[in-house]
Amino acid sequence: MEDILAKLIFLLATSQFVLCDPYYENSTGLQSSRDSKFIFTVIQFSNDICFSPKNESGICYSTSECSEKGEPMGKCAGGFGECCRVALTGCGGDVRLNNTMAYSPNWPGTYNEAMTCTYKVYFAEKPEPPAGICQLRFDYTAMDLVAPSNKGVCENDRLIFENDEKSTYFCGKAPDNYHWYVETVGTNSPHTFTITTDSTNYERKYGIRVSYIPCEQGVPTKCGNYYMGTSGEFISYNY
């Protein structure tokens, strides 16, 4: 009995020694093992919109996700995430992630060329409301195309939301922080928007953030510019 107890104490002492050894020998090691446990079990954040120190809009991802999807621009989620620049640069492309930016050719500079830039926005057609996506929202961080003619017609450049029943086309310069909603319910993915420019001499520029609006966050249908309350066949938003 005494023998067994002695062995048990020895075992306990041994396992305790083994368990504690790395902690006491290397406090740096302890810190890092605790940190990694902490990250895997506790820290979770949603892939929300974030802004870089220069106020460029990005998506909050882990460092490894960001290296696959974009470029890091600074921290987010209290320092645990990377504010990731997920952007289409050049002319056209596919949008599949919420808050993707579409930048004009030569961004942040201007371009002065006849081009047709086509963007396809893919979304899940199902589930249907209330669980799904009901609208796409386009936020312009910049929008400067050739202005409409005296008759108010976009004869040169055009921005067209091809699946939008409320608008035909836009051109000219948008006010700061302009936005436009397009319905997705009952339509097919993808939705296409196109920026067509002609050979008119003009320094153009656009930056458009695309966001997927869940049905419960949706604005009343047929409202393009909800907060400013303007909608119609053709919108002149030039000033």
Ligand X SMILES: *[C@@H]1O[C@H](CO)[C@@H](O)[C@H](O)[C@H]1NC(C)=O
Q: Which residues of the shown chain bind ligand X in the complex (CB under 6 A)?
A: 26, 28-29, 32, 49, 51, 55, 57, 98-99, 133, 141, 177, 211-212, 214, 217
Give the torsion sign (CA, 181, 184, 185, 187).
positive
> 């993915």: which residue's tokens?
189
Residue with smaller CB distance to ligand X, 48 or 155: 48
Minimum distance from residue 216 beta carbon to ligand X (Å) = 9
- Structure tokens, 220: 């009343």
Q: Judged by CB, which is closer to ligand X: 161, or 212?
A: 212
Question: Shortest distance, CB of residue 103 to ligand X, whole angstroms?
Answer: 14
* φ and ψ at residue 33, rounded to 5 degrees: -70, -35
Which residue lies nearer to ligand X by CB, 114 or 131?
A: 131
Say if CB 194 and CB 156 are below 8 A apart.
no
User: Per the structure block, which two tokens stand in for 118?
Assistant: 């086509």
Task: State the minimum distance, in angstroms, from the CB of residue 215 to ligand X.
Answer: 10
Q: Is 86 exposed, middle or buried (0-12, 13-18, 19+ CB in 10 A)?
A: buried
| Three-class SS state of 1 | coil
Nearer to ligand X, 27 or 201 (CB): 27
97 vs 147, beta carbon nearer ligand X? 97
Burial class of residue 93 (count of CB atoms within 10 Å of its CB; 0-12, 13-18, 19+):
middle
Q: How far is the CB of 51 from ligand X (least distance, A)?
A: 5
Q: How far is the CB of 56 from ligand X (least distance, A)?
A: 9
Nearer to ligand X, 140 or 170 (CB): 140
State the DSSP string of 126-180. -SPTTTSEEEEEEEEEEEE-PPP-TTS---S-EEEETT-SS-S-B-SBPPTT-EE
Give min distance, CB of 99 to ligand X, in A. Answer: 5
